Structure 1
Amino acid sequence: MLAASCPDGEQRLSRQSSDTDTTEGLLLLGWREWIRLPALGLPAIKAKVDTGARTSAIHAFELERVRDDDGRDWVEFSVHPLQRNHELVRRCRAPLVDERQVTDSGGHTESRYVVLTRIEIAGISRDIEVTLTARDNMMFRMLLGRTAMTPDMIVNPALSFNQGRVRAAALYTGGSTPVA
């Protein structure tokens, strides 16, 4: 697996399980959850759980496609990981999987880079595809799409942060830190 390095000393996003956390072996998510993207150096990012979106998406800017010495394509990009905080910037790098035409909920189609990265939530860890797009005007910096949830997660839209709350600002001490 290709992965970017991540900072040391990050907190884990986890909490004690309760009867409401799982349903028949499936992880029960609320309509919004805190997730980790460790390969991108993002110890916590609030995601809207969106069963209407096939692929996950993250707010990204200053995108640059690069090729390494082995001929593999990567995308370097910047992220504002916290809502309503444009001061904190993380520079990320992830392997490029594809470039696709994606139609948003408003019916607008745009070409987006698709990268591969690892997601962690409530003890589940897997590689997922994420599209990179400008989400400046959107409330959430990330959408968690259906393919990231398959096959072991289920959503109850009446719940919020069912997998626990996080003091995310405390995880991003030190300001803007590039991720190698």
Structure 2
Amino acid sequence: MSMPSKVVLGWREWVALPTLGVGAIRAKIDSGARSSALHVDDQWRFSERGAPWVGFRLTPAHAGEAIECTAPVVDERTVVDSGGHGTLRVFIRTTLRVAGVEREIDINLTRRHGMAFPMLLGRTAMVKAFTVDPARSFLHGRAGPPVRLHVVSPDPARPHP
């Protein structure tokens, strides 16, 4: 019985988060990291029908315009960074598109100022679909054209920070 082949990614790729309105963002593909992380400029918490939600703002470097989104909180846990520092982070679930593959992933929201990549794609997002060739990069081009703002909220009157 043969295993289905996995898509090969380079150590850095353009990815899209279409549910969040992000048509293309540079991501470091990091099999050493368990979880995926997304740089946000600002985030705020609120409740929607008694459930925890998060609002956040991000600015993909190539887009120039800030994107504001809201999403239900799927988890909140301590993440230890490469320097050994633990911080409590909010996790959301969103659609990832890379190399023609779309899948739902969990991603934590954090401030990644000073990092070369606004997104880190960790191994839980890659399992059973992707493998990494660390000698290559940007194998699949941009994930798609930038998408205009799409707010993920059941209520158009979203709270402000």
TM category (shorter chain) comes to 0.7 to 0.9
1:106 to 69, 72, 83: 83
| Mapping of residues 1-180 of structure 1, within 5 Å | 25-68=5-48, 70-82=49-61, 87-165=64-142, 171=146, 177=149, 179=151
Which structure shows the bigger proportion of residues in strand conformation? Answer: 2
In the other structure, the counterpart of 1:3 is: none
Structure 1 counterpart of 2:110, which letter? T
**Alpha-carbon distance in 1 for matches of 2:12, 2:45:** 30
C-alpha separation between the residues in 2 aligned to 1:115 and 1:172? 19
SS in 2 for 1:25: coil
Q: C-alpha displacement at 1:171, in angstroms?
A: 2.6
What SS is found at the alignment partner of 1:171?
coil
Equivalent residue letter for 1:171 = P
Q: What secondary structure sits across from 1:148 in the alignment?
A: helix
TM-score (structure 2 length as normaliser): 0.84
Q: Distance in 2 between matches of 1:31 and 1:24?
A: 22
Tell me the alpha carbon deviations over residues 26-75 of structure 1, each in whole angstroms, 9 at most, x when there is no partner. Answer: 1000011111101111111110001111000000132111211x322211
SS state of the match for residue 92, structure 2?
A: strand
Give the secondary-structure state (helix, strand or coil) at the position aligned to 1:135.
coil
| C-alpha RMSD of the superposition | 2.2
Q: Structure 1-normalised TM-score?
A: 0.76
Distance 2:128 2:150 in 1: 33
Q: Which has the higher contact order (CA 8 A, sep 6+)?
A: 2
CA distance in 2, matches of 1:44, 1:140: 12
Q: CA, structure 1 residues 178+150, in 2 after alignment: closer, same or farther (shift >3 Å)?
A: closer
The SS at the match of 1:76 is strand
Runs of at least 4 residues off by over 6 Å: none
Please, which moves more after superposition, 101-110 or 116-125?
A: 116-125
TM-superposed CA distance for 1:162, in Å, is 0.9
Alpha-carbon contact 2:19-2:150 (below 8 Å) kept: no
**Tell me, what secondary structure is at the counterpart of 2:125?**
helix
Structure 1 residues 77-128: Cα deviation after superposition (integer angstroms, max 9, x where no partner): 0112126x8x531112122011111110011111111111111112211111
Q: Which amino acid aligns with 1:99?
A: E
5+ residue gaps in structure 1?
Answer: 1-22
